[in-house]
Amino acid sequence: MGFISRVLRPAIVMLLALTLITGAAYPALITAIAQVVFPSQANGSMIVVNGQTVGSSLIGQCFDQSKYFWGRPSAAGVTDSNPCGYDANNSAGSNLGPTSQALIDRITASVDSLRAANGNGPVPVDLVTTSASGFDPDISPAAAEYQVARVAAARGMTADAVRAAVARHTQQPLLGFLGEPNVNVLLLNLDLDGVIQ
């Protein structure tokens, strides 16, 4: 009885107390603060158009029509029936190394496809490489510029008008030096559709 009251009881009390604090109280407090201070971000940064959720600014989507800017390729759930990837049930990169023939073949095919659609200029690397999650929503300004002529022609717009939309959705590095400039593909495409600005 002395061992139980002296050693086991305090251990069990501490386990229950810490479980309650770190497993329930702290997450509830942080969730409540996030809902008050950053409600959009706390709820997934969802983009709602005419009362309908069309996506999240944090999760990439498949765009393959000429009138849209294309994002980074996704290795998440690529199958014959889903060649675009972006399968939310299978978030992952390809895990293929630089000497993988499958990776070399995929990148070569992607470069050929992009050049057929956009011209023979140098292809920005982020248009042929996947991100670790497979859901990167952003491309580099260079990747956006590479696609401007195709998108402008498909929409019957001037290249300058399309570039202006790209500029509106180019996010600069945090504090001017943390990270790289990027363009959110979903927001840009919705802007071009006249849905948002």
Among 62-71, 79-88, 143-152, the least confident range:
79-88
- Residue 126 DSSP label: G
Note whether 75 and 85 are within 8 A (CB): yes
Output the pLDDT for position 15: 94
* pLDDT attached to residue 172: 92
> What is the tally of helices (H) and strands (E) in the chain?
8, 5
C-alpha torsion angle, residues 4, 7, 9, 10 (rounded to 10): 170
**pLDDT tens for residues 27-61?**
999 999 999 999 988 888 888 888 888 888 888 88
Quote the pLDDT of residue 174: 86
Residue 31: C-alpha distances to residues 21, 37, 39 (Å): 14, 10, 10
pLDDT in tens, 109-153: 989 999 999 988 899 999 998 887 778 899 999 999 999 999 999
> Where do the structural domains in the chain lie, given as residue ranges?
2-40, 46-192
Q: H or E element: which one contains 109?
A: helix 101-118
The more confident residue out of 179 and 150 is 150
Q: Quick one: pLDDT at residue 197?
A: 59
Structure tokens at 160: 């300058």
Residue 68 has pLDDT above 70, yes or no: yes
Q: Which residues contact 139 (CB under 8 A, 6 or more apart)?
A: 69, 71, 72, 124, 126, 127, 182, 183, 185
pLDDT of residue 76: 79
Q: How confident is the model at residue 183 (pLDDT cuts 50, 70, 90)?
A: very high
Q: Give the pLDDT band (50/70/90) at residue 1.
A: low
Amino acid at 141: P
Question: To which residue do tokens 């929503």 refer?
Answer: 137
Q: Residue 12: exposed, middle, or buried by beta-carbon count in 10 A (0-12, 13-18, 19+)?
A: exposed
